[in-house]
Structure 1
Amino acid sequence: MPDVLTHVLVGYVIGMLLSLRYERLRSAHVTLAMVGALSPDFAKIDLFVPDGLVAALLGVPFSWSPLHTLVGSVLVVGLCSLLLAPEYRTQAIALFAIGALSHHVLDVLLMTPTGEAYAVFWPLTEYRLPAGGLFLSSDRWPAAVAGLCAALVWTIARYRDDPTGTGASKIE
């Protein structure tokens, strides 16, 4: 579970940093980056709807695993963008893709027994990047670091919106 929390927190940090930089981005946009950061783990739907069940229903071989690749992320981003009005799609696709990319970057940094990361670029190539060997997905410290970063960014954003720190709204 620390792995999922870390991805969400990193998505939050990235989304908040972008919203601090670009005035047009609001809290809903931060949420898009957070959901994007979780999107490669949509492959874990296998826990509820097993590959074998879908293969039996469709009558063809099936696996959820390709959703956890860059090509799978592009597919999910494209499909999710269809849920939005056309005028919001470009910005939503960018934020969703940034979140998904952050997920893949963190996963490539994982420590693996083989020293190789998963096949991020599959089906384009079977090449496996060298694993970063920085942490295990079960480690709690990445979630703690991401949580501290999220708290720092949240504090900066709050102070930026209300420099007095009193909670009073700006009167213009």
Structure 2
Amino acid sequence: MADLLTHVLAVYVLLTVVGWRIEAITPRWVAVGMGGGAIPDLVKTELVLDSAVVEGVLGAPFSYAPVSTLGGVLLIAAAITLAFARRHWRRAYVSLVAGGVISLVLDGLRVYADGRAGPWLYPFTWWRPPTPSLYVTSDPRVLVLAVAVAGVVFAVDRKREENGSERESRPVHRSP
């Protein structure tokens, strides 16, 4: 689960920092993006519900593997977007996909035995891009770094709000 938390924190950091410059990225949409960062990790559902069980219920071949690909992120983000009010669909979808893509990019930087990341660009291509092998997901230092950077960004963001930055003066979009 440290991998999931790292993904969600990385999305928080990136979208919050970008939100300092782009007005459309408010804290509300950062939170939605963080949810999108968890989409590729839905593949871990197999730890609880084996794919063979799902296959037996559906009566058709089933695999969780496509969930942690670009196609999986696009499809699941579209399904989640339907839970939002229609006027928020575009922002919700973009936020969810942005979070999912950030998560996939982080996965592409992991150590793989053969030096190539997974086919995370599926269904557009089966090409497996080379990976710089920057980290191992089980390394606790990765999570510690993610928590530390997120803490710094959180503190800076709060300081910006206290100092009356543009973020405070942004209109708040309220749902009825």
TM-score with structure 1 setting the length: 0.89
Unaligned 5+ segments in structure 1 are: none
1:93 partner amino acid: Y
Tell me, in whole angstroms, the C-alpha distance in 2 between the residues paired with 1:23 and 1:108.
Answer: 29
Q: Which amino acid aligns with 1:60?
A: A
Aligned counterparts, 1:105-120, within 5 A: 105-120=105-120
Would you say the 8 A contact 2:3–2:137 is kept in 1?
A: yes
CA distance in 1, matches of 2:126, 2:26: 39
1:87-143 deviations in whole A, cap 9, x for unaligned? 111111111111111111110100111111111122333221112210111112222
Q: Counterpart in 2 of 1:104? A: 104
**Identity fraction in percent:** 31
- Gap regions ≥5 residues in structure 2: 169-176
Query: Corresponding residue for 2:85?
Result: 85
Q: 1:27: how far off?
A: 2.6
SS at match of 2:6: helix
Matching of residues 12-91 of structure 1 within 5 Å: 12-91=12-91
Match of 2:142 in 1: 142
Give the structure 1 partner of residue 174 of structure 2: none
**Structure 1 outlier segments of 4+, above 4 Å:** none
Query: How many equivalent pairs are there?
Result: 166
Q: Which residues of 2 match residues 116-131 of structure 1 at below 5 A? A: 116-131=116-131
What is the TM-score when the length of structure 2 is the normalising length?
Answer: 0.87
Change (3 A) 1:162 1:124: closer
